[in-house]
Chains A and B, each alone.
Chain A
């Protein structure tokens, strides 16, 4: 089972800021939080990653509260091309190998309207 929970879908209009929140109540001490974007018929693409507080890059910001049980991806001024599925991901330790593996949840389907 995925270790994360997100809203299934969101709609927004062009030019608006979009915030997508992800719950990860059982996040482990070592876990980073990573967000990916996926367009139809393509593999997911890395957007942003963080461990705590706030991280910003050229496409998004990531807000992580002190307890790290949730995170919020913020997309400033979205455009039609931001219509995609957004996945929040934390690691899961394999029972036999003891190494990290990554289980995707349902993701959030963002639709940007003109």
Chain B
């Protein structure tokens, strides 16, 4: 089983608050990802990182930011939460076998509700 952890599991917060969603993995994977998923919809890639101090924006524009100071840690921050940020946020890391050959491991997700 994958050792990738997301906290909190659920978060209800008021508009304008700053929040940080935590994601940690103990597998030593260099690559990590953040996806956003609304109920019944597909996953949208919002950020990814291919190593320490290297981050890229995904295909879905997001007001969130990420950092990668340590290999095992990939937090996502919203400076000022809004109701439109209400969604499930899924973190993943990948085991790189070869170029084009990766296996993604997902955390359980954070369900964010902004009131």
Closest-by-CB residue of A relative to B97 is A32
Q: How far is the CA of A3 from the CA of B59 in the complex (A)?
A: 12
Residues of B within 8 A of A28 (CB): 100
Q: A100-B102, A101-B33 are in contact. Are A43 and B92 (CB under 8 A)?
A: yes
Q: Are B35 and A41 in contact (CB under 8 A)?
A: no
Q: Are A101 and B48 in contact (CB under 8 A)?
A: yes
Contact of A31 among B59, B94, B100 (CB under 8 A): B100
Contact of B106 among A30, A44, A100 (CB under 8 A): A44
Q: A43-B90, A94-B56, A107-B42 are in contact. Are A99 and B104 (CB under 8 A)?
A: no
The 10 sampled A-B contact pairs (Cβ below 8 Å) are A28-B100, A30-B101, A49-B103, A87-B43, A94-B56, A97-B56, A101-B58, A102-B45, A103-B45, A104-B45
The dominant DSSP class at the B interface is: strand
B12 CB within 8 Å of chain A:
no
Task: Give the number of chain A interface residues (Cβ < 8 Å).
Answer: 33
A13 CB within 8 Å of chain B:
no
Interface core residue of A41, A89, A102, A107 (most chain B CB under 10 Å): A102
Residues of B within 8 A of A43 (CB): 90, 92, 106-109
Shortest CB distance B111–A (Å): 7
Q: How far is the CA of A105 from the CA of B58 in the complex (A)?
A: 14
Please give 14 more A-B residue pairs, beta carbons under 8 A apart, in addition to A34-B104, A100-B99, A103-B59. Answer: A30-B98, A30-B100, A32-B102, A34-B103, A43-B107, A44-B43, A44-B90, A44-B106, A46-B105, A96-B56, A101-B33, A101-B45, A101-B56, A105-B42
Contact with A along B71-115 (1 / 0, CB 8 A): 000000000000000001010101000111111111111010000
Shortest CB distance B82–A (Å): 22
Residues of A within 8 A of B107 (CB): 43
B20 CB within 8 Å of chain A:
no
